[in-house]
Structure 1
Amino acid sequence: MRHAVREWLGRYAPDGVVAVALSGGADSVALTAAACAEADVVDALTVDHGLQPGSAEVAAAAAALASRLGCRSARVLTVVVERAGQGLDTADRNSDIGPVGLSDRAGKARYPGGPEAAARRARYAALDEARQGLPVLLGHTLDDQAETVLLGLGRGSGARSIRGMPEFDAPWGRPLLGVRRSVARELCADLGITPWEDPHNSAPEFTRVRLRHEVLPLLEDVLGGGVAAALARTAAHLREDGEVLDALAGELLAVARDGDGLRIEILATAAPAVRRRVIREWLLERGAKSLTDSNLRAVEALVTRWRGQGGVAVGGSPSGTRLVAAREHGRLILGSE
């Protein structure tokens, strides 16, 4: 565990100053302990979603543990998740525990989606606001990476969805992607720490929980073991390949630009994998959200299979109107309606 954190720090945070997202669970506790042993300065950030009875006590215990492990500061960031799944607000109070001893107030923000997705967005937003310019270490392990790859395979949304989580996607760092979840539990036991067990991690209504407890064990049994590690290696290979394709797409995007649009003649001669990446990046920078493979292929058809078809809806704009990609005078354009 310490070797993994040490190597990550050497690559991405050589000054040795980081924040760590500490939930109180085994993975984040082990990560915090290893970070305190290897980094020069560690600030702990604990998000209390208020989704379960006693969550405030769990968060306070995690912050107190962070101080005992050697963190410079430990802060509890409180968010309130609406039960109906309409969204959530960040709470008006964020508390600091430890040497800093300050308190601050967060402005309210709203997040769309169901409770699980909304809680995830609120968590990352709270961490981003509180990190004070530091990279934030997350306790995702090799097992989490394998589950992510399986989810991507099941959704069938292309190589991007099965290349897993990166080691560093500023400001988010994941030093433990090569470490098994069981190692984190062993470290907690060695330190005499009983980590918090989130009941959501054993709730079968969550797809990821069923992957963890049903699908992956079955694959390990049928294929003779090593499946989680193999899935993580697959993600690493795809990420390396994807980085090359993304670089090529960036070069092509610069050439294809024509004002706010893209020149059809440039896109038409590109390799499909590069062309779709260009289209994706162009749509995202213009405000499209939650793009799917079918969205990208429908827009691509305006370039490669033009039959006079109408525009393609690609999601909402920041103003709430619908964005539509269309072909006009040899250019791809993006408008709203």
Structure 2
Amino acid sequence: MGSENGTAPSLPRRRLDPTVGKARKMVAELLGLSTTGKYTPTQHPPLVLVGCSGGPDSLALAAVTAFFASRGEIQVGAVVVDHQMQAGSAEVAQRTAGQLRSLGLDPVRVSQVEVENRGDGPEAAARAARFTALEEAARDLGAETVLLAHTQNDQAESVLLGLARGSGPRSLAGMRERRGLYARPFLGLRRDETLAICEALDLDPWHDPANSDENYLRVRVRHTVLPFLRAELGPAVTESLARTASILGHDADFLDELASEQYARISEHVPASQADDAQVRLNEEALRALAPALRMRVLALAVVELGGLQPSYERLVGAASLLERKGSAGPVQMAGKVSVWRISRAKGVLQDASGYGKLVFRRSP
């Protein structure tokens, strides 16, 4: 019904759900965007991609981020990775892609990947395949940022898994809010809040049956360990674990930076030749002079530099023990086909003299 002056009555403005508003603020702060009514559309907005499985967390992130695309501040696209590990995964991926396009995301890419388990378990293999697909999409589409929807609950689970594995402060530091290509704006958001966002925005998320499969350690942590800790230690334990990760993350970043500086100072890179594979050599005396926290990180950097995997603490201890040997010793097998051995200065072997008094890392073909 019209008003007295013949104009149509204005419709009441829909109240913004407080959880949606909270999530928008998190995305805006991480990307440097405005959360107020004052904003500036850009002629060529940068492309931001959202890694989306179709689950509540990533679908909520996609919908919240799409708000900023509607204002012209950024362009928002998505990558849906089909791991092909479950029956009907292709249909789930296409359904998710359709829902993302209906939210205004463009471009939306569906990437099918082959998951190769190289001994680290199916979760690690799927993660490696997923990140490869995300990086390829970002490179092909020209995106400098990929948003991931890990929540405070995911962070707490990562800390507990790191404790169980005894894998040191870097693992206990969990996931960083921003690292390289990737950004995680929801690390301060609980999982039940992403469900609330989906409900508030009338989203229809997919619930992955693998998240209820007790064969996965993370699922057991989620459904058994954390509920027990909350019951015994109080409901704030999830937030406390996530806060611990944040604190340790800053410490680990500082130590990693120092280790990178020392690695650049004491490492020698020997390119591959017809007679031998590429090598990294680390001066023994310089290694011994480093604090243990830096020494272990420098050893790990040599392994990764050669294309190996991040080594476990036990393997790093094995490599460091070569420094205590009197003569030539090794090899010690590291992760990813990398081996390390020690060449003594006093050992009369047919080796390049520059290799003496050093730990030598080499990756087998």
Matched, 1:2 2:24: yes
Which amino acid is 1:133 matched to? G
Secondary structure of 2:105's partner?
A: coil
Residue 303 of structure 2 contacts residue 310 of structure 2 at CA under 8 Å; is this kept in 1? no
Matches within 5 A, 1:1-337: 1-10=23-32, 16-39=46-69, 40-81=74-115, 87=116, 114-131=121-138, 132-134=141-143, 135-258=145-268, 260-303=280-323, 305-308=324-327, 309-317=329-337, 323-329=339-345, 330-335=357-362
Q: Distance in 2 between matches of 1:5 and 1:219?
A: 30
Report the Cα offset of residue 38 of structure 1: 2.5
Residue 299 of structure 1 contacts residue 312 of structure 1 at CA under 8 Å; is this kept in 2? yes
Secondary structure of 2:359's partner?
A: strand
Q: Distance in 2 between matches of 1:336 and 1:22?
A: 35
Secondary structure of 1:237's partner?
A: helix
Normalising by structure 2, we get a TM-score of 0.77
Q: Distance in 2 between matches of 1:31 and 1:336?
A: 40
Q: Distance in 2 between matches of 1:116 and 1:273?
A: 28
Residue 302 of structure 2 contacts residue 361 of structure 2 at CA under 8 Å; is this kept in 1? no
Which amino acid is 1:246 matched to? D
Q: Give the structure with the larger strand fraction.
A: 1
Report the Cα offset of residue 124 of structure 1: 1.7
Where structure 2 has 5 or more consecutive residues not aligned to the other structure, the ranges are 1-22, 34-41, 270-279, 346-356
CA spacing shift, 1:168–1:59, aligned 2, 3 Å? same
Q: Distance in 2 between matches of 1:289 and 1:225?
A: 37
Cα-to-partner distance string for 1:28-48 (whole Å, 9 max, x where unaligned): 110001111134211111112
- Higher mean displacement: 293-302 or 326-335: 326-335
Q: Distance in 2 between matches of 1:44 and 1:310?
A: 47
Runs of 4+ in 1 over 6 A off after TM superposition: none
CA RMSD in angstroms comes to 2.2
Residue 314 of structure 1 contacts residue 325 of structure 1 at CA under 8 Å; is this kept in 2? no
Q: Distance in 2 between matches of 1:335 and 1:29?
A: 44
Q: Distance in 2 between matches of 1:288 and 1:59?
A: 32
Q: Distance in 1 between matches of 2:47 and 2:204?
A: 27
Where structure 1 has 5 or more consecutive residues not aligned to the other structure, the ranges are 82-86, 89-110
Q: Distance in 1 between matches of 2:241 and 2:168?
A: 15
Report the Cα offset of residue 188 of structure 1: 0.4
Residue 212 of structure 2 contacts residue 219 of structure 2 at CA under 8 Å; is this kept in 1? yes
Which amino acid is 1:126 matched to? A
CA spacing shift, 1:221–1:307, aligned 2, 3 Å? farther
Cα-to-partner distance string for 1:284-324 (whole Å, 9 max, x where unaligned): 21233241101111111222x2244433121344xxxx523
Q: Distance in 2 between matches of 1:78 and 1:282?
A: 32
Normalising by structure 1, we get a TM-score of 0.83
Which amino acid is 2:304 matched to? L
Residue 340 of structure 2 contacts residue 359 of structure 2 at CA under 8 Å; is this kept in 1? no
Identity, in percent, stands at 43
Report the Cα offset of residue 120 of structure 1: 2.3
Q: Distance in 1 between matches of 2:112 and 2:362?
A: 39
Report the Cα offset of residue 211 of structure 1: 0.5
Secondary structure of 2:307's partner?
A: coil
Cα-to-partner distance string for 1:259-287 (whole Å, 9 max, x where unaligned): 54121111212211111111111222123
Report the Cα offset of residue 334 of structure 1: 1.9
Residue 4 of structure 1 contacts residue 175 of structure 1 at CA under 8 Å; is this kept in 2? yes
CA spacing shift, 1:72–1:288, aligned 2, 3 Å? closer
Report the Cα offset of residue 114 of structure 1: 4.2
Q: Distance in 1 between matches of 2:342 and 2:307?
A: 15
- Higher mean displacement: 287-296 or 113-122: 113-122
Residue 80 of structure 2 contacts residue 110 of structure 2 at CA under 8 Å; is this kept in 1? yes
Report the Cα offset of residue 249 of structure 1: 1.4
Q: Whose Rg is larger?
A: 2
Secondary structure of 2:333's partner?
A: strand
Q: Distance in 1 between matches of 2:305 and 2:84?
A: 34
